[in-house]
Amino acid sequence: MERFFMEEGAVKCVPADGVCFSRRFDVIVCGLGTAGSVAAAAAGQKGLSVLGIEQCACPGGTTTIGGIRGYYFGTPGGLYTEFDRRVEEYQSSHTETVLESRKIVTEEILQESGAKLMYETVLCGIYLSGTKVCGARVLTGGIMEDFACSVLIDATGDGTACFMAGCEMEFGREADGLTQPYSMVSVMVDENNAVRTTNFDFGRVDQRDDKSLSEALIFSRSYEMPEDRAGTFVAHMPLIGVREGRRIIAEETVRLEDVFAETVTDMPMFYSYSDLDKHGWDTAFDGETLGDWTVGANLGAYNLTVPMPFRALIPKGYDGLLCACRAFGVDRNISSLSRMILDMKKAGEAAACVAALSIQHGCPLTEIPYGELKQMLTKSGCLNEAYCRGVRVDGRFDCDGNELVPRGVSWITEPEQLAAPLSSLTPGEAIWSARRMGEKARPVLYQLIASKDENTKKHAAFALSATGDKGAIELLREMAAARDPVMLRDCRKNNEQRGAMAIYYLGRFADTAAIGTLAEIITDENEPLRDAYSGRFSNGARYRISGFRYEYFQFVSEAAMALIRIGNAHEKERERILEIFKTAFLDETYEKRITTRPKMSSEGSMVSNIKNVAFSAAGRWGLFI
C-alpha cells in the first residue's frame, strides 16, 4: 500500500503498509457540496456506512454558500427533489432564505441517513493498493486521521482526490490553457426590502494556484459593476463560482465530437441538458469542434441532450474511486453543459448507486450490473428516458425579449429543402444540416451561392463551407472585407455577425489571400470607426456591457485566430504573420480600443489574452518577439 499526497503542487507517494486506520467506512465522500451532499445521503440511505468530509463549515457548496438559488436547465427527477421538497416545507414555517434553509435541511437529511460528518476538514492523502483506492488521510481540528473505505467518491468540484491519486487529467483549452470565467454572487436588498442576489462574471482563475485564487478573491470583492447593483448591498457570498477546473480521463469520456456524430453511450446514468454555456465572449479560441457549431453555424445557444455514461465517473485504470463533480469524464466543451447544478446532483446520486452495487456484488466499479443501476436510477427519477430529447431551442426569451416557445430540432435531410431557411436570418439549422449531409448537399448549395438574393447566397456560402468545400471562398473574402455587419437571429443570445463567420471559415481553410484583410482588422487604428461595430446591427440579440465593444472584439479575436490557423498550415507565411501580431499587439493600444474594463474583469482579461494567444502560437512556430 502507498499513500499519495500533494506537496508544493506535485503528487508524491510514500510506502504505507503499516498504516493504522481509525475506522473503516463503506464510502468516503470528499466534499459535501452540490454533488457530495446528495452522494453521502444516497449512500447512507442504501445502508452503507458513510464518512462525509467538507472543508467548509456547512454542506451545500454552490447552492448554499455559493449563493446560487435556482437551476439553469438540466432535467428534473432524482433524490434531490426530496431535498427541495423539504427546503420548501421548512421555508413555509421559518424566516430563513432559501440558501440558509438548504444548509439546515441538507444537514438534517445527511444526519438522518446515518452519515458521519466532518466539517472544516481537509483531504491530505489517498491510500492505494496498486490502482485500488482503499482509504484517505484528513486533517481535522489540527489532527491527522486515517480512514479506510471500499469506495471513495471525489465530490471536491476540482477533482482533488483524483489528482492526488495520480489519475490522468486535463485542464483548460488547447489555445491558451485557460478555463471559463469565474463568477461571484452578492446579496442585495431591493426597494421592497426583499432579499435577492446578483451573479456576474470576472476573469479567469487557476484555482490550483494559491496566488491566482487569492487575487481572484480580492478583486471580485473590490470591483464594482454599478449596472448590476440595483439595491442595497448586504454581502458577498464566501464561495466564488469556479465553473471549470481539472477533468479526469475516464473509463468513458464524453467528447463533443462524439455527441455531434451521435456515437453516445448506451449505458446512461442521466441525461444532461443545456446549451454549451461558456460564459466567455472569446469563442474564437475555443477550438474548431465547438467553433463549427457556435460560429460556423450560429447555434451557440441551442440546447443539447447528452446521455452521461456511468463509466464517466470512473477514472481510467482505477478502482474504488468515483469522480462525482464537474471534473468527471467529459471534455471542456461538454463540461460547460454538464456542470449545471441538477447534473451535479444527479452525478452524486448515481455515484452512490454505483458504489453500492460494487460493494454488494464484490466487483470492480467498471463491472457492476448496468441493468440494476438503471433500475435504481429510473425508480428515483434520476434517469428518465423521456428526457432523451436531442437538440432543442429552449429558454425564457428569444433574442428580441419575447417569450420563447421551446421546440425540438429536426435536421434537414434533403438538399432541396435548404433553400428556404438559407434565405432567412435564421439559417443555422440549415447550415448544420448541410454539414451533416456533406457531399450530398453540395450541388444544391452551388446553385444557391449564385442566387441574386443576398441572404441566400451568403448563407449558402457558409453551408457549403461547413461541408468542407472551398467553392464559396470568394464570397467569404467579400464578407470579411466588407465587415458584413448583419447579425443572424437563430439564438436567444450569442448570435454571430456574418463578417465574423466569414473570417472563421477563412481561417478554417487557411486562406492566405485573406491575410491582408485580417491584418487590417487587427492593426488599423481607424478600424473601430466602421459601422459594423456601432451596435446598430445587433437587433437586441446580445447582452450589452458598458465599456466593452463586443462586435469589434469578435472581429479582432476571430481575425487573430484565423491568422494563427493560416500560419499553422503555411510555414512560409509565419514571419509575415508574426510581424502583423507585433504591429497589432505589442503595446496595449488595441486593448483600449475594445474595452475600458480592468484587466482582471471578464472582458478585460479576454481582451488582453488575445496577444497571449497570438504570440504563444508564434512561439510554437519557433518565432519569438
As a whole number, mean pLDDT of residues 145-169 equals 97
Identify whether 535 is part of a domain.
yes
Note whether 520 and 562 are same-domain residues.
yes
Phi, psi of 560 (to 5 degrees): -60, -45
Q: How far apart are CA 317 and CA 180, in angstroms?
A: 28
Q: Note the pLDDT tens digit of each residue in 168-226.
A: 999 999 999 999 999 999 888 888 888 888 888 999 999 999 999 999 999 988 886 55
Note whether 118 and 256 are same-domain residues.
yes
Note whether 11 and 149 are same-domain residues.
yes
Give one DSSP letter per residue of 354-409, joined into a string.
Answer: HHHHHHHHT--GGGS-HHHHHHHHHHHTSS-GGG---SEE-SSB-TTSPBP--EE-
Note whether 235 and 268 are same-domain residues.
no
Of 354, 386, 418, the last residue of a domain is 386
- Which range of residues forms the domain containing residue 215? 183-242
Q: How far apart are CA 411 and CA 408, in angstroms?
A: 10
Going from the C-alpha of 102 to that of each of 118, 270, 344, 502, the distances in angstroms are 18, 24, 16, 48
Q: How far apart are CA 146 and CA 136, in angstroms?
A: 6
C-alpha cell read off for 401: 425579449
Give one DSSP letter per residue of 47-79, joined into a string.
Answer: T--EEEE-SSSSS-GGGTTT---S--S----ST
Q: State the pLDDT at residue 484.
A: 97
Identify whether 365 is part of a domain.
yes
* Residue percentage of the chain with pLDDT more than 90: 88
Q: Note the pLDDT tens digit of each residue in 417-447.
A: 999 999 999 999 999 999 999 999 999 999 9
Q: What rounded mean pLDDT belongs to the chain?
A: 94
Note whether 234 and 258 are same-domain residues.
no
With helix as H, strand as E and coil as C, how does 4-52 read?
EEEECCEEEEEECCCCCCCEEEEEEEECCCHHHHHHHHHHHHCCCCEEE
C-alpha cell read off for 190: 431591493
Question: What CATH number corresponds to the domain at position 350?
Answer: 3.50.50.60
Note whether 106 and 252 are same-domain residues.
yes
Q: How far apart are CA 138 and CA 602, in angstroms?
A: 35
Identify whether 459 is part of a domain.
no
Note whether 167 and 218 are same-domain residues.
no
Q: Note the pLDDT tens digit of each residue in 557-610.
A: 999 999 999 999 999 999 999 999 999 999 989 999 999 999 999 999 999 999
C-alpha cell read off for 42: 444516497
State how many domains the chain has: 3
Of 386, 405, 440, the last residue of a domain is 386
As a whole number, mean pLDDT of residues 126-148 equals 97
Residue type, 571: E
Q: State the pLDDT at residue 543.
A: 61
Note whether 564 and 612 are same-domain residues.
yes
Entry pTM: 0.95
Q: How far apart are CA 486 and CA 124, in angstroms?
A: 55
Of 222, 242, 262, the last residue of a domain is 242
Note whether 373 and 516 are same-domain residues.
no
Of 351, 310, 343, the C-alpha closest to 326 is 343
pLDDT surpasses 70 at 229: no
Residues 6+ apart with CB under 8 A from 84: none
Note whether 260 and 138 are same-domain residues.
yes
Q: Note the pLDDT tens digit of each residue in 500-519.
A: 999 999 999 999 999 999 99
Q: State the pLDDT at residue 191.
A: 81
Q: How far apart are CA 465 and CA 248, in angstroms?
A: 34
Note whether 48 and 72 are same-domain residues.
yes
Q: Note the pLDDT tens digit of each residue in 262-305.
A: 999 999 999 999 999 988 889 999 999 999 999 999 999 999 99
Q: Note the pLDDT tens digit of each residue in 310-332.
A: 999 999 999 999 999 999 999 99
Q: CB atoms < 10 A from the CB of 369, how many?
A: 12
As a whole number, mean pLDDT of residues 530-554 equals 80
